[in-house]
Amino acid sequence: MFWGSLYLLKGANDGSIATIARRIEERKIFPMVDIWRIADEVAASDAVVQKMLAADRVELLHKVCTYVASEVSGDKDVWLEGCYYDKYDRPIYKPKKIAEGHPQQINVQVGGKIVDIVSISPLVASAATFNIHRVYYDDAVEDHGKILESAITRAVIRQLSLQLSSYVGEPI
């Protein structure tokens, strides 16, 4: 059903729908700029960030990425029609907390009972959420990826500086 629908979408009157359908079929998704990767690289050299607890660092980067995406998407010289912001929070482990086990949880035996590992492992219980902050763009526009990445890098540096100016070593 999917492939049949995709075939029909390739013939759509709307050029953007036809293009997306064709790219999906050819497995040539639009390229992207990973805001999180850029923020992570910029933050790695900051002494304050280096001293943060992992959870605080993840929260800081998440805020920076969100502000950067908002800022860059408002710049019409950088954010063209083909841009799409993909933001997704994915927990590393989703506890089910179902007694006697569940196939979608890590089950361990404790005292003869099967329990979700999150109930006995503080490491698993405190696992951070993995955050995706990506901007997909149309590579048919010459040098758009370079322009977008440059604008995102400048915005990351600015937002990281703003966020860190209010950080005093307590959770953000």
Domain contains 73: yes
Bridge partners, residue 106, by sequence: none
| Alpha carbon distance 105, 79 (integer Å) | 41
DSSP state, residue 143? T
Which residue range is the domain that position 41 belongs to?
Answer: 31-92+128-165
Q: Are residues 77 and 40 in the same domain?
A: yes
Query: Highest-confidence range of 52-61, 86-95, 122-131, 160-169, by mean pLDDT?
Result: 52-61
pLDDT band at 167 (very low <50, low <70, confident <90, very high): low
Q: Are residues 80 and 145 in the same domain?
A: yes
Q: How many domains does the chain have?
A: 2
Q: Are residues 12 and 54 in the same domain?
A: no
Q: Are residues 45 and 87 in the same domain?
A: yes
Q: Tens digit of pLDDT for each residue in 11-64?
A: 999 988 998 899 999 999 899 999 999 999 999 999 899 888 887 888 899 999
Q: Are residues 38 and 54 in the same domain?
A: yes
Q: What one-character-per-residue DSSP string does 35-94 give? A: HHHHHHHHHHT-HHHHTS-HHHHHHHHHHHHHHHHHHHHT-TTTS-TT-EEEEEEEES--
Instruction: Reply yes or no on whether the pLDDT at 172 is more than 50.
Output: no
Q: Tens digit of pLDDT for each residue in 121-148?
A: 777 776 667 789 999 999 989 999 999 9
| Alpha carbon distance 172, 31 (integer Å) | 32
Domain contains 48: yes
Helix (H) or strand (E) holding 86: strand 84-91
Domain contains 110: no
Q: Are residues 37 and 61 in the same domain?
A: yes
Domain contains 117: no
Among all chains, which residue has been given the structure tokens 């005093």? 168
Q: Are residues 17 and 73 in the same domain?
A: no
pLDDT (0 to 100) of residue 162: 92
Domain contains 53: yes
Q: Are residues 9 and 59 in the same domain?
A: no
Q: Are residues 5 and 49 in the same domain?
A: no
Report the half-sphere exposure of 52 (CA within 13 A, side-chain side).
Answer: 22
| Alpha carbon distance 134, 136 (integer Å) | 6
Domain contains 23: yes
Mean pLDDT of the chain: 87
Coil, helix or strand at residue 17: helix
